[in-house]
Amino acid sequence: MLFYNAPEEDLQFLLFEVFRAPEHWQGAEETAHLDQALAQAIMTEGGRLASEVFCPLMQSGDAEGCRLEGGVVHTPSGFRAAYQAFAEGGWMSLAGDPNFGGQGMPKQLCVALEEMFFAANAGLYLYPALSAGACVLLAAHGSEAQKGLWLSPLYEGRFSGTMCLTEPHAGSDLSLLRTRAVPQPDGAYALSGSKIFITGGEHDLTENIVHFVLARTPDAAPGNRGLSLFLVPKILLEADGTLGARNGVAVGSIEHKMGIKGSATCVMNFDDAKGWLVGEEGRGLQAMFTMMNYERLSIGLQGLGTAELAYQNALAYARDRRQGRDPAGMSDADADSLLVHPDVRRMLLTQKAFNEGGRAFASYVAMMLDQARYGATPEVRDRAGRFAAFLTPIAKAFFTDRGLECCVLAQQVLGGHGYLAEWGLEQCVRDTRIAQIYEGTNGIQAMDLADRKTAREQGRTARELLATLRAETAGEEGPWAKEVEAAFAALEAATAALVQGAEGDAYFAGAVATDYLELVGLVLYGWLWQRMVQTAERAAAEGRVTPVFAAKKRATASFFMAKLLPKVQLLKTTLEAGSEPVMAASF
């Protein structure tokens, strides 16, 4: 039976020591109400809900799955009560616009909570995660009337939201979408078409579902420029906001998947469904990217969270399992704990290093998002926004790639038991695999980073970010200064090679994109690990964290610097090989 303990000590260390988040929160009018005591209380209660309410349903939800009966999707037993506890606790409105019933909490606090909820039960948390993205989209692009009508029930958790992009003939290439939206005399539109892979497209958790649908108007331009965004509810509302007639939206089927079986993945059919334009006609994709970018970081946290769940259970197993003898003969026992074996320790330390490094990186990206929104000057907001845009594809892809890697390592620690359903590690592997695919495959994330956000802008943001990281550690004689500077130099050289190679070779960026994303991810983790150790040792000397906590940080960082960060040099070499080894082969 899987268990989960919220990593509250580590999350508090990041927020209050490494990034000193309350100083930023209280420096902005919108977040001045949030202090350390309130943030700690929120994290404690969120961790309790995750570990005590969400996690016990993870394996049973996987075994039962969702079922479609009479046009209604029934979620696994216990999901509805858990969702109600989540909604009634106000968790849906945490980051919401206070003008419409939201609590206005900063992203840096919200990502800590998202990691915990995803870790405890990804299949269940996907429902509110999609709703949160829908709220962000509507708050950014909806009219005042639309926000007034729909945001409050979404924040209350009475309604949920979806993102309807993919069609059977059009996967990642949204320019091929065919769903049509025909203007009506009353100012609404009639939408017709089918969408696939719709997370939470139909379920029994809420009284209504609000679909955000990309479609084409009759005279729309071809390609992405002709896409508009529409709000299409499952149930129409009366003028006073009460539920009215059923709209022309129906679930066609649900997918039978490898994992996240508690999450309903639906085929949705729109048959003259009534909808309303959100934002400007022909600019739907730009508006939808607001939700997509939110979900990309969120799905990255799915990979990170599930990897943490897997690690906790693998570590507990390794401590208890007696197998083999200490290679150094340091024990008289018939069999020793798995923790005496170097390769088991390698697997566990790899998980721990990537999970804690990822947690720090998530907090850093969230801090950039907060600064982009609440920064004191236009210059601060602009720079933070560019950094957040640059870092988002890294977070999505690197978290989920490492998430699957760490779940497989956790499964390996258990040996044959890791392959059995009762221990839950095989479910972690299955659940995490999808995170590399949806919300834009990790290859697409790498292309976004390497081509659009690096090569096309001549590496400007990459170099500016690198200069910022160097400036923050300048003059410090901390541990691993040479190793981190060598990693910085490798990133600098790789960025230059990418920019130069892409200028004369249309294939170059695509051929090296994954190498570049992996390289940047490792460099950022290296910088964060150095910063975490320096902060932990100062905080321990001043009595704010325990010496044991600081010593564990140093030990894990030592492993990362010696065994994982050196891979940066290999990635630099493979990137410099260019596109020829990829494109020369014939199939």
Rounded-to-10 torsion of CA 407, 411, 414, 419: 150
Q: Which residue would you say has higher pLDDT here, 381 or 330?
A: 381
Q: Which of 114, 295, 439, 492 is catalytic?
A: 439
CA distance 286 to 467: 30
Amino acid residing at 310:
A
- Place 225 in a pLDDT band, splitting at 50, 70 and 90: confident
Assigned CATH for 8-156: 1.10.540.10
Structure tokens at 83: 């969702």
CA–CA distance, 349 with 315 (Å, rounded to integer): 10
| Strands 159-164 and 208-216, bridge-based pairing | parallel
Angle value at C-alpha 115, between 109 and 121, nearest 5 degrees: 135
**Given this model, what pLDDT does residue 473 score?**
81
**Would you say residue 478 has pLDDT above 80?**
no
Question: What pTM was estimated for this model as a whole?
Answer: 0.96
pLDDT in tens, 208-217: 999 999 999 9
pLDDT tens string 233-273 = 999 999 889 999 999 999 999 999 999 999 999 999 999 99
What is the pLDDT of the chain when averaged over all its residues?
95
For the purposes of burial, counting CB atoms within 10 Å of the CB of 170, is it exposed (0-12), middle (13-18) or buried (19 or more)? Answer: middle
pLDDT tens profile 515-541: 999 999 999 999 999 999 999 999 999
The pLDDT > 70 percentage for the chain reads 98
What does the CA dihedral 200, 130, 183, 176 come to, rounded to 10 degrees?
-80
Express each pLDDT in 67-113 by its tens digit.
999 999 999 999 999 999 999 999 999 999 999 999 999 999 999 99
Return the pLDDT at 479. Answer: 84
Calpha distance 42→286 (Å, rounded): 33
List, in sequence order, every residue forming a beta bridge with 213; answer none if it has no partner.
164, 230
What is the predicted pLDDT for the residue at 171? 62
- Kindly report the backbone phi and psi dihedral angles of residue 189, in degrees, each rounded to the nearest multiple of 5, phi listed first: -130, 150
Classify burial at 60, counting beta carbons within 10 Å of its beta carbon; exposed 0-12, middle 13-18, buried 19 or more: middle
Structure-derived torsion over alpha carbons of residues 123, 349, 575, 387, reported in degrees to the nearest 10: 60
The type of residue at 271 is D
Query: Does residue 465 surpass a pLDDT of 90?
Result: yes
What phi and psi values does residue 14 have, to the nearest 5 degrees?
-65, -50
439 is a catalytic site residue: yes
Q: Which of 125-129, 156-160, 375-379, 489-493 has the lowest mean pLDDT?
A: 375-379
pLDDT tens digits for range 167-205: 987 766 776 788 999 999 999 999 999 999 999 999 999
Which of 263, 205, 197 has the alpha carbon at shortest distance from 234? 205
Pairing of strands 72-74, 189-199: unpaired
Task: Supply the pLDDT for residue 226.
Answer: 86
Measure the CA–CA gap between 514 and 510, rounded to whole angstroms. Answer: 8
Which CATH topology does 159-282 take?
A: Butyryl-CoA Dehydrogenase, subunit A; domain 2 (2.40.110)
